Amino acid sequence: LGDGAPTGNYGYTNSGYSVYEEENERLTESLRTKVSAIKSLSIEIGTEVKNQNKMLSEMDNDFDSTGGILGATMGRLRTLSRGSQTKLLCYMMLFALFVFFVIYWIIKLR
């Protein structure tokens, strides 16, 4: 180095190097905070996705069990309608119709 060059600046006397360096440091810090925010957000999204998948799996199991119960009930109804209990089924339908007309009559009087 020459006699007039100050030590520690590597020959960049008053060239604005420190201004650019400070701006780069500021932009780097801003980028670092944005990256950490995106990282935490993506971790939260991953956790939420896992929870939603677990809930969907539980709902799928519930629907499967409900479908099984409904299938068994429909099988019993088919057995009831095919068997000798058709009189019982007719009586049940007439009773339901009677209850409907009684409720209709009560509502009509009000």
* 41 against 67, higher pLDDT: 41
Q: What is the pLDDT of residue 68?
A: 85
Q: Which residues contact 17 (CB under 8 A, 6 or more apart)?
A: 9
d(CA 49, CA 27) in angstroms, rounded, equals: 33
CA angle (67, 52, 42) in 5-degree steps: 160
Residue type for 87, please? K
Single pTM value for the model: 0.47
Confirm if 35 and 29 have CB atoms less than 8 A apart.
no
pLDDT digits (tens, 9 = 90+) for 3-50: 554 555 555 555 567 888 999 999 999 999 999 999 999 999 999 999
